[in-house]
Amino acid sequence: MPASQRNPVRAGSGTARAVTEASQSLDDPLQYLKGVGPQGAQLLGKLGLSTVGDLLRHFPRRWEDRTCFRRVADVQPGEWATVHGVVIAVTTRRPNTRLTVTEVLLDDAGNALKLVWFNQPYMEKVLHGLQAARRTIVAYGQVKRSGWATEIHNPEWEELSEDGDPLSANRIVPIYPATEGLRQGRLRRLIHAVLQSYLSCVEETLPAGILQKHRLMGAQEALRQIHFPDSEAELVAARRRLVFEEFFRMQVLLAVRRHRNTRLMQGIPLRVDLDRLRSSLKQIVPFELTGAQQRAIADIARDVASGLPMNRLVLGDVGSGKTMVALAAMLMAVENGYQAALMAPTEILAQQHAIVLRRLLEPLGIAVELATGSQTGRARREVRERLIGGQSRVVVGTHALIQEGVEFARLGLVVIDEQHRFGVLQRQALALKGHRPHVLVMTATPIPRTLTLTLYGDLDVSVLDELPPGRKPVVTHWKPSSKRAQVYAAAQRLLDEGRQVYIVCPLVEESEKLQAQSATRLCEHIANAVFPQYRVGLLHGQMRPDEKDAVMARFKAHEIDVLVSTTVIEVGIDVPNASVMVIEDADRFGLAQLHQLRGRVGRGEHASYCILIADPKTEEGQARMEIMTQTRDGFRIAEEDLRLRGPGEFYGTRQSGMPELQIADMVRDIDILAETRETAFSLVDADPELTRPEHRGLRGALQRTELGSELIGVG
Ligand code: ADP
Ligand code: MG
C-alpha cells in the first residue's frame, strides 16, 4: 500500500496529525512533525527534503569535534579551526557606501579573536543581544592574521548553549548543508527528534551474511552514528557502512543490467583453440605479444566460447597495442565462419586499420574490406553486396557501417575502436546488424578504475596495462610562454634532422568557429614567421572530413613538416616520424586530454618530446603541469584529473542513469567500491531476480529507484 494511503494527509485541515507508533512511515511528510509546519516544510523543501526518510539521509557535510575546541592562543594562520569564546564587543563600520563590516570580539580565556562579516548588517543586532547576555558562541572558518589580531572572516557560527542544547556542545557535532532561515541548531534538533521516533522504521537492506562478512554496522545504528556519533571510531564505522550500501546498490543494479543484456541472451558460441590461434598470430605478427595482450585475448576467447554474447571493454593507454587484440578476436570469428566488423571514428583511422589488417590477414587468405562515407556509386554498392553475400569476412569502416542498406550475411563480432567517440546508440546500431554478435569495445581514454566500475560497470573489462617493449618515452617539458622562442629553436633542430612536428593551438571553448579562426591565425604565423622554410599544414574541426583526411594523409606521407592543429588530432593517428609536439596554453586542457595528445608522438624509433607552454596562475594549474612532466602513466593521470576536477568533468557520467551519490566519494572510497562490486555481482549471479527472502529488503529499496524500477520486476 502506498504511503499516501496509509497516512492520509488532509490538506488544510489545520491541525497537526497525531503521529502514533503504528502509523509511522519514512514516507511521512515533514510538515506534520512537531515544530515544522508549512513554513518549516518550505525551507526543508529548499534542501530537497520532503519526507522523514529524506531527512534521515540528509547527511552532515562535516563534523566538529567539540569535545575539545582549538584554543585561540594555539591557532595558526591558514588553519581551518573551530573556536569558541564569550562575545565582548560588537562594532559596525561603513568604510564606503557599498561596504558594511561587522566585527565581533570574542574572549577565549584571555585571548582575543575577531570575527568579521561583510555586508551583513543584520548581524549586528543578533550579536548585540548575545553580548548583553555574555553568551558563548562557536565559530568555524579559516584563521587569518591581520597585524596583531587573529581573525576569521565570514565564519560559520552558532550560539553555544551548554545546558540548553546538549546537541551543540561537548560532543562530536554534525554540521549540515543548511539554507537561509534554517540554521544548524534547528536542523540538528529536528534530525535528532526524527531519529528518536522514526529510527525503528528503518529497514536493514543488506543481507545478514554480507553485514557479517564485511563487518558492517547495522542500518539503524549507522544512521544514528552518522548524525550524532558517540566517538570518532563510531563515525568512521557508520560512514563506511553507508558508503558500502550506496555503492553496493549501484553495483547490484549494474549486475542486474548486465544479466539482462547478456546472461539471458543466447550468444553465438565460437570454438576457439587458443594454442592454434597463438601460432597463427605468431606467423603473421612481426613481434611478441605483450603479457597484457595475451591476457586480453584469453579473456575474449573465454567470452566468445561461453554461449553468451560477449560485452567486453579493452582499456589500454595509447600505444598499448589494442589493434592486435582486435585482430585476434576477428580471427576467432572468421575461423568459425562468421564475419567481423571494426568501426573507427574517422575515415583516416579506418584506413589506417585497413592497411594494418590487410598486411596481416592477407597472407592467411582473408580479404579485408573497407567501407567509408567517401565511397559512392558502384564502389559502395559492391562493398555492400560482398557484405550481404558473405564473401567479405572482415570489414573496417566508419559510421558508414551503421547506415541503412548495410547488411551482413553472418555478423559474429563487432569491434568499436576509440569507443568514447561513439554514443551508446551507435554502438548498438552496429550490433543490431547481426543476431546478437559479440561486442568488443576499445578505448584509449585512460579512465580511472572507479569510473570503469561505474561508467562501464555492465561491461567486462580487460586492461592493457603494459606497453610493448622498446618504446622510447616521450620527454615532457613545461615552459613559460616567455621561452617560446627557445622551444621553436629546439623544434627547428629536429625539423632539420628530418623529423615532423605537431603544434596544438590554444583551446577556445566558446565556439568551434572561433577555434578554427585562432588555429588559422596561428598557422599563418608559424608558416610566415617561425618556420618559413618548412611545409606547414593546418587541421581544425571546421574542415570537411575529406579535407581533414587529405591533410592527415599528407602529414603521414611527410609532405607536411609542421602540422598546426586543434584537438582533432587527439584520436589514434600513427605518424612515427612526428617526434615533437608543442602544446600552446597547455593549462587550459584537461590532463587526460593532454595525455591523449601527447600519445601522438613517441611512436617511432626517434627520441620524442612534448613541450607544454603554459603560465598557470593557480597552484592547482601548476600542479597539473608538474604531473604531466612527471608521469606517463595514463591511469595515474586520469586519477589525478578526477581528483582535481571531480567526476562530473568526465563525459558520460551524467548519462549513465545511476542514482547520484549522497555520501560516497568516488575518489576517496575506491576501495569500498571495489569491495562491493564482487559482492554484488556474485549475489546477482546466484539470485538474478533478487527473489530470495534474504534479498527482499534490498529488492524493495532498489525498486524505489528509477533505474531499479525499470530493471527489477514487481511481484
Ligand atoms: P593503440 O591502438 O592501443 O593505441 P596500436 O594497436 O595502434 O595501439 O599499436 C601501437 C603500435 O605498437 C603499432 O605500431 C603496433 O604495431 C605496435 N605494437 C603493438 N603490439 C606490439 C607488441 N606486442 N610489440 C611491439 N609492438 C607492438
Ligand atoms: Mg588504436
For ligand 1, which residues put their CB under 6 angstroms from it? Answer: 287-290, 293, 316, 318-324, 444, 468, 574
Q: Is the pLDDT of residue 261 over 80?
A: no
The residue whose CA is least distant from atom 9 of ligand 1 is 321
Is the confidence at residue 625, as pLDDT, over 50?
A: yes
Q: How many CA atoms lie within 13 A of 496 on its CB side?
A: 6
162 pLDDT band, cuts 50/70/90, is: low
pLDDT computed for residue 449 by the predictor: 64
Q: In the predicted model, what is the mean pLDDT of the chain?
A: 86
> Cα of 298 to ligand 2 centre, how many Å?
19
Nearest C-alpha to atom 10 of ligand 1 is from which residue? Answer: 319
Whole-number Å distance between alpha carbons of 542 and 567: 12
Please give the pLDDT value at position 633: 80
Residue 467 pLDDT exceeds 90:
no
8 Å CB contact between 251 and 84: no
Q: Are strands 172-175 and 411-416 parallel, antiparallel or unpaired?
A: unpaired
388-426 per-position pLDDT tens digit: 999 999 999 988 888 888 899 999 999 998 766 555 566
Mutate to test the pocket of ligand 1, among 324, 352, 358, 632 (most ligand atoms within 8 A of CB): 324
418 CA → ligand 1 middle, Å = 15
The 10 Å Cβ neighbour count of residue 299 is: 18
Mutate to test the pocket of ligand 1, among 278, 285, 287, 318 (most ligand atoms within 8 A of CB): 287
pLDDT (average), residues 228-237: 95
Q: Regarding predicted confidence, which is higher, 327 or 591? A: 327
Q: What grid cell was written down for 286? A: 612481426
Distance 603 CA to ligand 1 centre (A): 9
Name the pLDDT band for 11 (thresholds 50, 70, 90): very low
For residue 1, pLDDT beyond 50:
no
Q: Which of 109-113, 271-275, 294-298, 447-451 shows the lowest per-residue confidence on average (mean pLDDT)?
A: 447-451
Residues ≥6 apart with Cβ < 8 Å to 430:
341, 343, 401, 402, 414, 416
Mean pLDDT value across residues 689-695:
92
Give the confidence band of 16 by pLDDT, cuts at 50, 70, 90.
very low
For a pLDDT cut of 90, what percent of the chain falls above it?
48
Q: Which of 281, 323, 352, 598 to mutate to test the pocket of ligand 1 (most atoms within 8 A of CB)?
A: 323
Q: In this model, does residue 22 exceed pLDDT 60?
A: no
pLDDT for res 423: 58
State pTM to two decimals. Answer: 0.65
pLDDT at 529 over 90: yes
> What separation in Å is there between the alpha carbon of 633 and the centre of ligand 1?
17
Average of per-residue pLDDT across 169-183: 84
pLDDT mean over 460-470: 85
Band the pLDDT of 10: cuts 50, 70, 90.
very low
> Per-residue pLDDT averaged across 166-185, rounded?
83
User: Tens digit of pLDDT for each residue in 329-364?
Assistant: 999 999 999 999 999 988 878 888 998 999 999 989
Contact status, residue 86 vs residue 134, Cβ threshold 8 Å: yes
Output the CA 321–ligand 1 centroid distance in Å. 4
Sign of dihedral through CA atoms 204, 207, 211, 216? Answer: negative
**What local confidence, expressed as pLDDT, does residue 653 receive?**
43
As a whole number of angstroms, the distance between CA 58 and CA 225 comes to: 13
**CA 616 remoteness from chain centre:** 24
Give the ligand with the smallest distance to the CA of 355: 1
pLDDT at 651: 41
C-alpha 589, offset from chain centre? 16
- Tell me, in angstroms, the distance from the centre of ligand 1 to residue 468's CA: 7
* Per-residue cell: 81: 579551526
Query: What is the distance in A from the centroid of ligand 1 to the CA of 624?
Result: 28
Label residue 634 by pLDDT band (50, 70, 90). confident
**Distance (Å) from CA 322 to ligand 2 centroid:** 6
3-state secondary structure of 535: coil
Q: Whose CA is nearest to atom 17 of ligand 1?
A: 321
Ligand nearest to the CA of 464: 1
Distance CA 440, CA 602 (A): 27
- Contact assessment for residue 399 and residue 433, using Cβ atoms and an 8 Å cutoff: no
Angular region, 517: left φ>0, alpha ψ -120 to 50, beta rest: alpha
DSSP state, residue 29: B
Q: Is the pLDDT of residue 112 over 60?
A: yes
Q: What is the mean pLDDT of residues 302-321?
A: 89
77 with 149: CB under 8 angstroms?
no
Q: Which three cell numbers stand for residue 47?
A: 534542501
Q: Is 181 left (phi over 0), alpha (psi -120 to 50) or beta?
A: left
- Please tell me the distance between residue 323's alpha carbon and the centre of ligand 1 in angstroms: 7
The answer to whether 101 and 108 have CB atoms below 8 angstroms apart is: no
- Ligand 1, closest atom to CA 470? 25
Using alpha carbons only, give the angle 604, 609, 615 rounded to the nearest 5 degrees. Answer: 155
Give the three cell numbers for residue 641.
584529473
Closest protein CA for atom 16 of ligand 1 = 321
Ligand closest to CA 317: 1
Find the angle CA(209)-CA(214)-CA(216) to the nearest 5 degrees: 90
Q: Which strands make up the sheet holding 411-416, listed edge to edge?
A: 368-371, 394-397, 339-343, 411-416, 438-443, 311-316, 460-464
pLDDT band, residue 650 (cuts 50/70/90):
very low
| Closest ligand by atom to 418 CA | 2
Ligand 1 atom 15, closest CA: 321
- The average pLDDT across 447-462 equals 72
- Please write down the HEC assignment for all residues of 102-115: EEEEEEECCEEEEE
Alpha helix stretches (DSSP H) within 557-687: 591-598, 619-630, 634-645, 670-686
Q: What gap in Å lies between CA 300 and CA 626, rounded to an integer?
A: 38
Model confidence at 8: pLDDT above 50? no
540: number of Cβ within 10 Å: 24
Distance CA 346, CA 548 (A): 10
What angle do helix axes 232-258 and 696-703 make, rounded to 10 degrees? Answer: 80
**Residues 292-311: pLDDT tens digits?**
999 999 999 999 999 889 98
pLDDT at 62 exceeding the cut of 60 = yes
User: If you measure from the C-alpha of residue 34 to the centroid of ligand 2, how many angstroms do you get, rounded to a whole number?
Assistant: 63
Task: Give the model confidence (pLDDT) of 696-709 as tens digits.
Answer: 999 999 988 777 88
Could you tell me the pLDDT band of residue 152, with boundaries at 50, 70 and 90? very high
Atom number in ligand 1 closest to CA 318: 4
